[in-house]
Amino acid sequence: MLPSEDHILREQPRPVANSSLVPDLHVSLKLSEKQTKFLLDAIQDVNPEAIDAKAEIRKRVLEVQDKCVFLATPAICHDIMLLICQIYPYPCIHAFHYISLSIAEHNAFPCVLKANQSSGQANAPLLLDIGCCMGTDLRHLVQSGYLATSVIGCDVRRDFIDLGYELYSDRDRCQISFFVGDVFDITLLPFPQVADDAHPSLKDVQSLNELRGHVNYVYAGSLFHLFDEGTQEAIARRLATLLDVSGGSGPAVLFGKHVAQAEEGVIDDAMGRTRYAHSPASWKELWERVMGDGKIRVHVDAEFRETPNMWNPGRGTELMWWSVWVG
């Protein structure tokens, strides 16, 4: 795909036709034992031994949800906050995905973690979480043993990154690097890209282009399904240029999850957005197009898992958990 053929339709906030479709806040917070243990360990100013520790982490999670959904200040009246919520209701925030441990639940996780732990610190493979939101997955990844200096998170909204620091009370202690960036700002170049310099210092990275040819693992959770078919391919082509396919740390891996269908097609979207769902077969075809002429081995895994549908509680949502192994 040449730059002149690049199709990009950015996500656009728009009013919800029926405001009753916007899920209520707070109603669905159910923490698993694994999440509770992680949050008790990760939130720096909560004493996990305190009698009210679990109540305190629930309170903190709900406070952050309010701020994240409304992006409000005390001066904003309730009616305006409700309007903001209806125009852009952040379904994943309503569903508390910002405290999900999705990377650890992914089939690629054991391989990714083992590769990092078996390498020396100087050669540790780099992992990028694109659309990292509040950075929960990366904090849990580091807690699981991945080197903090080898992970980096990027989100299009500074608010989400700052709320992560607020939720975990670790702005002055967190060793993970975060920065604001937009996947569409990645310069579209042919795949693969070979880095002509040493790994950048992650704490100094300010642009996704600085990571070109350096990243061993890219996690993209709940990203692709926000866009139409052509835009998803544009994203895939850009992320592919970030991969280090030299093989020094084993195969490069892109992995994630998003809404999918047994038969690919347009999503029936409650918010009226133009979105596309791939099938496992069409998803594999997309990555084979992106990766080019077959000179580099590409293997795509995909499986469906059902998750509760907050827009329609009587019907589950099929999520495709996928990985693309390159090299």
Please report the pLDDT score of residue 14 as a whole number: 59
Amino acid sitting at position 196: D
291, 191 contact by CB (below 8 A) = yes
Spatial contact of 153 and 132, defined as CB atoms under 8 Å apart: yes
In tens digits, the chain (327 residues) has pLDDT values of 545 568 888 876 655 555 555 556 656 688 999 999 999 999 999 999 999 999 999 999 998 888 876 653 344 444 544 554 544 456 778 788 899 999 999 999 999 999 998 877 777 899 999 999 999 999 999 999 999 999 999 999 898 999 999 999 999 999 999 999 999 999 999 999 988 778 889 999 999 999 999 999 999 999 999 899 999 999 999 999 999 998 888 899 999 999 899 999 888 776 677 789 999 999 999 999 999 777 899 999 999 997 766 555 555 578 999 999 999
Dihedral angle, C-alpha 263, 266, 268, 269, nearest 10 °: 130
pLDDT of residue 77: 46
pLDDT at 100: 95
Contact 166, 172 (CB under 8 A): no
The pTM assigned to this predicted structure is: 0.90
Helix (H, G, I), strand (E, B) or coil at 103: helix
The Cα-based distances of 102 to 10, 70, 114, 179, 264 in angstroms read 25, 24, 17, 20, 24
Rounded Cα–Cα distance for residues 287 and 3 (Å): 18
Q: What is the per-residue pLDDT for 91?
A: 72
DSSP state of 165: H
